[in-house]
A and B are shown apart, each in its own frame.
Chain A
Amino acid sequence: MTAKKTDKKDKKDKRIGLFVCHCGVNIAGVVDVEKVAETMKDYPGVSFSANYVYMCSDPGQQMIIDTIKEKHLDGIIVAACSPTLHEKTFQEAARLAGLNPYQIEIANIREQDSWVHTDKAKATKKAVKIVKSHVAKALQNESLEPVKVDVNRRALIIGGGVSGLQAALDIADHGYEVILVEKNPSIGGKMIQLSETFPTLDCSQCILTPKMVEVSRHPRIKLLTYHEVDSVSGFVGNFKVKIRKKPRYVDETLCNLCGECEKVCPQVVSDEFNMGLAFRKAIYMPFPQAIPGTYTLDAEHCLGLTPVRCGKCKDVCDKKAIDYDMKETIIEEEVGAVVVATGYDLYTMQAIGEYGGEKYEDVINGLEFERILSASGPTGGVIRRPSDGQVPKSIVFVQCTGSRDTEKHNPYCSKICCMYTAKHAMMYRHRVPDGQATVFYIDVRTGGKAFDEFYQRTIEEDRVLYIRGKVSKIFKEGDKLIVWGVDTLTGKKVEVEADMVVLAMAMVKADGVMDLLKKLKIATDIHGFLAEAHPKLRPVESLNAGFYLAGCAHGPKDIPEAVAQASAAAAKVGDLFAQKELSHDPTIVPVNDELCSGCGICISMCPYSARSLDLERGVAVVNEILCEGCGACAAACPCGAAQQRNQTDSQIYSMLTAMLGE
C-alpha cells in the first residue's frame, strides 16, 4: 500500500533533458522557442535541450524516448501546454524509455505565457524563468510508484427513474451486483407519470413497466425503495454507504394488495402521483403497476399510527401486514462506484406570478397535463379542466416558461418542452377535434431523430396555431382565461381567450436531493445540476472519482438521451470494475514522524478525512488512499512534518529562487 521511493540520486548528479514545444504557432507565435532551448543549454543540471513543433505528436514522443535512452537522462522537462492536457502522454513516454513517470515535469508556457501575452521578448524571458523553476524542481524529484488498492465490484445507484433503472440493469447484466436506492414507495420516477412519449406516441407506462419488472426480478439487483442514501464515505473502489430505511408500516412480503385497508382509511389527501389533481388515502399504492407491489402508510397523514386513534387499516388486514411499530433503520453497504440519477423538479408556479398558476386552477404545468392525458390519470384520459371538469374548447400552451430568461428566471433551455408541447397540442387536437390549440414559442427546437417531422405534423396535419412570442400575463375574465402575449412576427400584441393554459415549466434541480449532493461532496454547476468531469470528453463522470452521472440530475434531457447517458455511465462503471486493482496517485502528503508534534492542525485542514491522530505515538497518520494530494495540510503544518511528495517546501523554495533570481 505504501509508495516506494527508488533510485534516489543526489541532485547534483542528475541529468535533466529539456524539450520545448512550439505547439504550431500557439507557443512559437509569441515565445521564441529556439531561444528558450538555446538559453537553457548550459544551465546547471540541464544535459540536453531541444525544441520541436509538436512534442505531443508521435515523432515528438519518440524523440523524448530516444533521447532519454541515448543521453541517460534522469529527468525531463517538457515546456508546453497545461499539465492537465498532456502530462499523462509524456509520463507514458518516459515509462516506455524506462524512466519513472514522476521524473517528468511539465512547464506550462502556453496557458500561462504565450496565450496571455503579446510582447515576444518579455514572453520569451518569462518562458525561460518558468523552465528554470522546473529544472530546480526536477533536480529534487523522487521516483514514485502508484499506491495500489482493491476494487469492490458492487455499484450503488441513487434514484429509480428511467436513468437509474437503465444503469442498474446494464451494470447487473455486466455481471456485477447493484444496489438501487429510491426514496419514493415505487420505482418509475417521472417517466411513469407521463402519458404518451414523443415522437412515436408510445405509451410511457407500457415501455417503462417491463424495465421496472426486470429490475425487481434481476438476481443481481438489490432494490431498496422507500430508502434514502444517508451518507457515502470512502473513495473510488471502496465506498461505505449508509442507507436509511424509511418505515413503510406495511410488510411488503405479506401485503397481498387486497386493498381493504385503503377502503377503510378515513384520511383523504392530495395524490402526488397525479400531481394533486386527484386524491388518495393515507395508506396507498402510488399507482397500479407500482414496484414493489405493496401498500405504504404515509405517517405524515395517518391519524396517528396507533389503534387508540384509528387502527382501522390494521383491523381489516387479514395478512397482518400492517405494523405501526416499524422504526427507521440504517443499513450499511460497501460499494465501489456510485451512479447519481436523482432527477429533476419543475420550476414553481409562484416564481412566475404574472401567469396566475397559483390563483387559477386551470393554469397547469406540463406534468399535470400529462396526468390529464394519461389513461390511468384522474380523468381516465379524457381532457377535462381541473376547475369544473369541462372539456376545454381552447387551450393555450406557453413554451419556455421560466427557461431562456436571463433577466428573471433560468438562462438555459430546458430542451424537452418544444417536443412535449407539440405532443400535448397534437394529442389535444386528436381528442378534442373541435378544440383550438395555440402555442406561444420563442424558437422551436426539434433537434432529435424524427423530431422535426413530428413538429411539422403538429402544425400541418393537426393544425395547431404557433405564435412566435412570449406571454406577458394570464388572468381571468368571467370563466375564460385571457392570455396576453406578443406576436413578434407581426409586432402586434395578441390576446387569446382560453379555457385552460398549459405552462411548459423549466426543468430545475431537484431540491429534495441537494442536501445529499452536498454530503456526497459531488460537484454541481451554477444551476445546481451535477457537473461532469469534462463537458465534451468525460460527460458521464463526476469530477469526484467513482461517481457517475445519469439523467436529468445532470441537466435537462429527453428519455432517449437519459437512457443513453445511463448506459454510458454503466459502461464506465464496468471499466472501473474490470480493473484488477486501482492505482492512486502517489503525490500525497505523508507524515515525518520525527518532526510531527501531534498538534492535529493538519487533521482539521484535511477535506478528505485522510488524516488522523495516532494517540499512542502522538503523531498524525495519513491514509494514503484517501489523500488526494491537495496540499492543504502541507501549507498548514507548523513544523514541516507534512511534505507533499515531489512538491516539498525545499522544492517550492528552489523554484522561487530559480524564478526570481538568487
Chain B
Amino acid sequence: MKLHYYPGCTLKEKTTALDLSTREAMKRLDIELVEPADWTCCGAEYPLTEEKIVGLAAPIRVLRQVHQEGGDVVVTTCSFCYAVLKRANKAMQDDPLKHKRINAYLRDDIKIDPLTKERTTGFEDYNGEVKVLHLLEYLRDAVGYPKVKSRLKRDLKGLSIAPYYGCRLLRPHEEMGVDEPDEPRIFEEFLGAIGCTAVDYPFKQECCGSYLSVSLPAAATEASYRILRSARMNGARAVAVTCPLCFYNMDHRQDAIKEAFLDFPGLPVLFFSQVLAWALGVDKEVLGLAEHTVPVDDLFIENRAAEERT
C-alpha cells in the first residue's frame, strides 16, 4: 500500500540515513512511502506567539496537499517536523480564528504545473482532515507490533538500546497526545517489539541542548554528555533517537564531548529506523552508517546471537 510521508528538509540534506532506512524498513512491511508533491520546509519551529500565524502557512500548505492527493494520514520521522505538522493541524481543527486567517491566506496560493508551467489559484479550505502520525505511532497503531514481529529477519536479542525521546516527540501533551509525557512507553515498546532490550534511564526526556549547539556549544556538549553517560551507566550499547538535531548533538558532537569530559569513552547513536530496518533484514549498506561520527559497525553484525555468546 501507499502511504504519504513527509521527510522534511534535514532528512533530504543532512541526515539521509534516517530517510533511507525509513523507506527501506517500510518496504519490508509492504508500505511504499509517497511524498506529497511540491512540499516545502515545515518551518521547523511551531510559532511561539499566538498572533504569529504566518509560520503556520507552510505546514498547512503541505497538509492541504496531502489532503488533495487523497491522503488521510501523513507520517513523519523527524521529531521537529512531527511537532510542527501535528500542532498546526490541531490548530486548524480547534482554533476557528487561525483556521479562518490561514485559509484566507492560502486560498490565493499559486500552483504551477511542472510540465505546462500553467499557474492556477483558488484553493479549497483545509480543515485539519489529515491525521499526522509519527512513524513510531503509525507502527504502534496502524501496522501493529504483531505484524512487525512476524516480519523480523534478524534476532537482536540482548542488544540493549536506550530510547531517547528528546523534547519534541511528547510535548505539549495536550496537542501531541502520542503518549504519557512523564512516563512514556512507546519507544520502549517499539524496541521490545523488534527484539531489543530497552534500557530505562532517567535522562530519556532531558534536553540535548538543541539549538544551543550554535550559540552556546559548551552547554549542548554538557547536556548531551549527561544523557549519553546516564544511558551508558544503565547498560546501553547505543542510544536511539528520532530527531536529526538530537542526532547531531549526541553523535556529531561526541569528539567535543570526549574532549570536555575525559571519563566518557563514547557511545554509538542510532536512528530508530536504522534498528528497525536492520531487524527487518535490510542490508547494512543502505542504512547510511557512514554518516555516523561514532562508529556503529559493531552493532550491525549478522550472527548476533552467536557473537553475544562468545
A475–B203 alpha-carbon span in the complex (Å): 9
A482–B201 alpha-carbon span in the complex (Å): 13
Q: Which of B182, B183, B202 contacts A477 (CB 8 A)?
A: B202
The reply to whether the CB of A476 lies closer than 8 angstroms to some CB of chain B is yes
A478–B230 alpha-carbon span in the complex (Å): 10
Interface of chain B residues 199 through 217 with chain A (CB within 8 A): 202-203
CB <8 Å contact, B182 and A354: yes
CB <8 Å contact, A475 and B202: yes
Main SS class of interface, A: strand
A354–B183 alpha-carbon span in the complex (Å): 8
A475–B183 alpha-carbon span in the complex (Å): 13
The reply to whether the CB of B262 lies closer than 8 angstroms to some CB of chain A is no
Task: Name which residue of chain B comes closest to A352, CB basis.
Answer: B182
Q: Distance in Å from the Cβ of A358 to the closest Cβ of chain B?
A: 9
Asked whether A353 and B202 contact (CB < 8 A) given A477-B230, A477-B233, the answer is no
In the complex, chain B residues whose CB is within 8 Å of the CB of A354: 182
A96–B203 alpha-carbon span in the complex (Å): 77
CB <8 Å contact, B202 and A476: yes
Q: How large is the interface on B (under 10, 10 to 19, 20 to 34, 35 or more residues)?
A: under 10
Q: Distance in Å from the Cβ of A359 to the closest Cβ of chain B?
A: 9
A-B CB proximity, top 7 nearest: A475-B202, A353-B182, A353-B183, A354-B182, A476-B202, A477-B230, A477-B233
Interface residues as binary, A200-231 with B (CB distance below 8 Å gives 1, 0 otherwise): 00000000000000000000000000000000
The reply to whether the CB of A473 lies closer than 8 angstroms to some CB of chain B is yes
In the complex, chain B residues whose CB is within 8 Å of the CB of A476: 202
Query: Taking beta carbons and an 8 Å cutoff, which residues of B are in contact with A?
Result: 182-183, 202-203, 230, 233
Q: Distance in Å from the Cβ of B179 to the closest Cβ of chain A?
A: 13
For the complex, count residues of A whose C-beta is within 8 A of B. Answer: 8
In the complex, chain A residues whose CB is within 8 Å of the CB of B183: 353
A476–B182 alpha-carbon span in the complex (Å): 16
Of A473, A475, A477, A482, chain B has the most CB atoms within 10 Å of the CB of A477
Q: Distance in Å from the Cβ of B163 to the closest Cβ of chain A?
A: 16
Q: A353-B183, A477-B233 are in contact. List 7 more A-B contacts (CB 8 A).
A: A353-B182, A354-B182, A473-B202, A475-B202, A475-B203, A478-B233, A482-B202
A478–B232 alpha-carbon span in the complex (Å): 12
Interface residues as binary, A115-158 with B (CB distance below 8 Å gives 1, 0 otherwise): 00000000000000000000000000000000000000000000
In the complex, chain A residues whose CB is within 8 Å of the CB of B202: 473, 475-477, 482
Task: Name which residue of chain A comes closest to B203, CB basis.
Answer: A475
A637–B205 alpha-carbon span in the complex (Å): 63
In the complex, chain A residues whose CB is within 8 Å of the CB of B182: 353-354
In the complex, chain A residues whose CB is within 8 Å of the CB of B233: 477-478
Interface of chain A residues 352 through 367 with chain B (CB within 8 A): 353-354
A198–B121 alpha-carbon span in the complex (Å): 76
Interface of chain A residues 464 through 495 with chain B (CB within 8 A): 473, 475-478, 482
Q: Distance in Å from the Cβ of A449 to the closest Cβ of chain B?
A: 40
Q: Distance in Å from the Cβ of B296 to the closest Cβ of chain A?
A: 26
A353–B181 alpha-carbon span in the complex (Å): 10
A241–B297 alpha-carbon span in the complex (Å): 76
Q: Distance in Å from the Cβ of A128 to the closest Cβ of chain B?
A: 44
Q: Distance in Å from the Cβ of B208 to the closest Cβ of chain A?
A: 16
A353–B182 alpha-carbon span in the complex (Å): 7
Task: Name which residue of chain B comes closest to A474, CB basis.
Answer: B202
A164–B203 alpha-carbon span in the complex (Å): 47
A477–B230 alpha-carbon span in the complex (Å): 8
A140–B230 alpha-carbon span in the complex (Å): 83
Task: Name which residue of chain A comes closest to B182, CB basis.
Answer: A353
Task: Name which residue of chain A comes closest to B206, CB basis.
Answer: A473
A490–B183 alpha-carbon span in the complex (Å): 30
In the complex, chain A residues whose CB is within 8 Å of the CB of B203: 475
